[in-house]
Amino acid sequence: MSENAGLPKHHHEFARAALRCYGRAPDAPLRLLSLSENATYLVDDDDPMVLRVHRPDYNDVDAIRSELAWMSALRSQTPVRTPHLIETTDGDAVQPVAVAGRVLHVDAVTFIPGCTAEEKPEAVGFDELGRITGAMHDHAERWLRPADFTRFRWDLETILSPRARWGDWRAAPNLTDADAAVIGRAVDEITRRLSEFGCGPDRFGLVHADLRMANLMLDPAGPLTVIDFDDSGWSWYLADLGAVVSFIEDSPDCDRIIADWLRGYREVRELPAGHAALIPTFVMTRRIMLSAWIGTHHDSDAAIPLAPTFAAGTAALAERYLGDPAWLRDAIR
């Protein structure tokens, strides 16, 4: 298992130390489920739950509380299924845990049975995911947020600039000068189009921002469950669709997935034609973001197999974005 640079190597000790805060036995079985921005553990006892150990340099405690507040509000106020927040025995949503003089924050949610959509993509109904996303966006527009609610923004500065939150795409591994030039032209075009599109309240609001297959749980006994709101923040609503096709933007399945998602989304929420016309821009934007992410997470299990060829694939997709007006057009009609 590769190590996230933001987490200490002994992150499992923080999960172990947190068990008492939830009334669990100190020797309860712990199993690492994923290691990305944070370390996520299954407490595999008679009442399974999921513990998340947060990296120290990504979200502060107020932002974590805000993330969990929206997740819980979606669960209680909409048809969207999310994990149930588990509070500590003291009734807190977020627990600071100290190990060897260092403090990290931990939270806990219910365990969702089944598997991720990444493990069984053929079972995913993307029209259902479109309806779920539409319900999330409707809720984001009308929700009376807590006074202390705080989340970051995903905008042109935090996505595409050298100071982007996931890193600078210009530092993507194995990026050649020729490929960088093509991607740079795509970035210029994205910047022009999204600057013209603007950030009005009908197009820019609170989004999940990472609705990729790894963050959807398939429960044989129920609907899709949306997990991991760690990247949720303020952005264009259609950024959520760009995330749905993460890592498969250049595959033949991309058109079908987008068409199915749009069919479901439009059942719940109006999508003006002018907004839909920008879907290729949001797909291209997400691909460039992922190129940056691979560069800053080069030793993660998800990035290692992609790093040798991903930048070249991004440049090829940029060529298509810039030169093929038919790309994705049938899907968004």
Structural domain contains residue 177: yes
Place of tokens 């493990």: 119
Same-domain pairing of 266 and 199: yes
Structural domain contains residue 4: no
Tokens at 290, concatenated: 């992922």
The predicted pLDDT at position 33 comes to 92
The predicted pLDDT at position 272 comes to 97
Same-domain pairing of 53 and 148: no
Same-domain pairing of 145 and 27: no
Structural domain contains residue 103: yes
Q: Total structural domains in the chain? A: 2
Length of the chain: 333
Q: What is the percent of the chain with per-residue pLDDT over 90, rounded to a whole number?
A: 86
Residue 66 has pLDDT above 90, yes or no: yes
Tokens at 316, concatenated: 């090829």
Residue 135 has pLDDT above 90, yes or no: yes
DSSP SS3 for 179 = helix
Domain CATH code at residue 253: 3.90.1200.10
Same-domain pairing of 303 and 270: yes
Q: Identify each DSSP E strand in the chain by its residue range.
A: 30-35, 39-43, 49-53, 85-86, 95-99, 102-110, 115-116, 204-207, 216-218, 225-226, 233-236
* Domain finish residue from 62, 92, 111: 111
Same-domain pairing of 86 and 138: no
Please write the tens of the pLDDT for every residue from 19-55: 999 999 999 999 999 888 899 999 999 999 999 999 9
Same-domain pairing of 76 and 98: yes
DSSP SS3 for 226 = strand
The predicted pLDDT at position 235 comes to 98
* Domain finish residue from 90, 111, 132: 111
Compute the CA torsion angle 215, 311, 195, 322 (nearest 10 deg). Answer: -120
Please report, as a single letter, which amino acid is at residue 264: G
Q: What is the percent of the chain with per-residue pLDDT over 70, rounded to a whole number?
A: 97
- Closest alpha carbon to 268 in 81, 82, 80: 80
Please report, as a single letter, which amino acid is at residue 85: L
Residue 222 has pLDDT above 90, yes or no: no
| Alpha carbons 255 and 250: distance in angstroms, whole number | 9
For residue 130, give its domain range. 121-323
Which residues, at least 6 apart from 145, have a Cβ–Cβ distance to it below 8 Å?
66, 69, 70
Structural domain contains residue 2: no
| Alpha carbons 44 and 290: distance in angstroms, whole number | 32
Tokens at 108, concatenated: 């806990």
| Alpha carbons 207 and 68: distance in angstroms, whole number | 13
Same-domain pairing of 89 and 179: no
Structural domain contains residue 330: no
**How do strand 102-110 and strand 95-99 relate by DSSP bridges?**
antiparallel
Same-domain pairing of 48 and 131: no
| Alpha carbons 296 and 293: distance in angstroms, whole number | 5
The predicted pLDDT at position 5 comes to 53
Cα separation values, 163 from 159, 167, 169, Å = 8, 6, 10
Supply the mean pLDDT for the chain: 94
Tokens at 16, concatenated: 């172990």
Region 259-276: mean pLDDT is 98
Structural domain contains residue 245: yes
Same-domain pairing of 219 and 183: yes
Cα separation values, 85 from 38, 52, 91, 224, 308, Å = 17, 12, 11, 17, 39
Tokens at 322, concatenated: 């810039």
Give the CA diameter of the chain: 60
Residue 306: pLDDT band (50, 70, 90) is confident
Tokens at 295, concatenated: 């560069």
Same-domain pairing of 125 and 107: no
Structural domain contains residue 1: no
Which residues, at least 6 apart from 167, have a Cβ–Cβ distance to it below 8 Å?
292, 293, 295, 296
- Mean pLDDT is lowest, of 142-156, 237-251, 288-302, for 288-302
Residue 232 has pLDDT above 70, yes or no: yes
* Domain finish residue from 70, 90, 111: 111
Domain CATH code at residue 52: 3.30.200.20
Structural domain contains residue 5: no
Same-domain pairing of 161 and 250: yes
Same-domain pairing of 155 and 17: no
Residue 9 CA from chain centroid, whole number: 24
Contact 121, 213 (CB under 8 A): yes
The predicted pLDDT at position 2 comes to 40
Cα separation values, 111 from 80, 132, 230, 311, Å = 16, 20, 17, 36
- Closest alpha carbon to 135 in 176, 93, 193, 75: 75
